[in-house]
Amino acid sequence: MADTDRLLDVPLGKRQIQAFYGAAAPVYDAATVEFEARAKALALDAMHRKPGERYLEVAVGTGMSIVEQVKRTGPAGIVGIDLTPGMLSLTRERLNAAGASSVPLMLADARFLPFRNGTFDCLFNSYMLDLIPAEDIGQIVSEFRRVLKSGGRIVLANLTEGEGADVAFSEDWKARFLKDPIQVGGCRPVLAGSFLRAAGFTEVQRTYCGGTGSWPTEVVSARAPGPT
C-alpha cells in the first residue's frame, strides 16, 4: 500500500485551522512541548545549518525551534513564517528575549510562499503537514522545493505512524481523529517521503522518533535537485 493511500484526510479548512491555533497559542507549549521536544532537537541536528545560510522556518508556532536555531547558528539569514497571528506574536516575544529582534517574521500561507525561486539554502518545518488536507500537501512540498536553491536542504518533523510499542498509541489517535478531528488539533499521522520524492527531492532519509515522552514522529531530510 502506498504511503498516500494510508493517509487520513483533514476535513478542516484554512480558517478553522487559523481559529483553532490562534485560540490555542497561549496554552500550546504546555500541551505539546514535552511530546515534541526530542523530535524537534533531532530535526534541528539533521539540518546542519551553517551560520549565515539563508534559512526558512515554515510554521514557526510559538517560536521554540527558530529561537533554538538562532542560538545554534546566529540570526543572520533566518526568516520565519506562520499562518496564525497569535503564534507569530509569541515567536516575536521569544526572539526579542533571545536578542534576535532582527529576525523577520511574516504572516503567510505555506501553499503560496511569498519568496522568489531559489531564495533559501535550507528549510525547516515541524508538526505542520500532519494537519494539512491531503490535496494540499503536494502543492506545499512543491513550494518548499521552489524556494530552495539547487541542492538546498529540507528537514521535516511530522506526527507519523507509530512503530513497535507506539502502534497502539497511533491507532487510538486515529480513532479519536475520525470521531472529532479538532480534539487532536486536526492532526493525523503522515508519511512524507512519497510527497518529497514526487516533488523531485533527492537523498530522502527518514528517522523514526517515538517511545516514552515523544509522540510518534518522523524526521525526514532531503535535498532539492541539483543542476543536471
Q: Which three cell numbers stand for residue 36?
A: 515534541
Residue 157 is assigned to a structural domain of this protein: yes
Residue 133 is assigned to a structural domain of this protein: yes
How do residues 10-67 score in pLDDT, each as one tens digit?
A: 988 889 999 999 999 999 999 999 999 999 999 999 999 999 999 999 999 999 999 9
How do residues 125-181 score in pLDDT, each as one tens digit?
A: 999 999 999 999 999 999 999 999 999 999 999 999 999 999 999 999 999 999 999
Residue 177 is assigned to a structural domain of this protein: yes
Alpha carbon distance 20, 127 (integer Å): 15
Q: What is the CATH number of the domain that holds 150?
A: 3.40.50.150
Phi-psi bin for 59: left (phi > 0), alpha (psi -120 to 50), beta?
A: left
How do residues 67-80 score in pLDDT, each as one tens digit?
A: 999 999 999 999 99
Domain residues for 164? 3-223
Q: How many domains does the chain have?
A: 1
Residue 228 is assigned to a structural domain of this protein: no
Residue 17 is assigned to a structural domain of this protein: yes
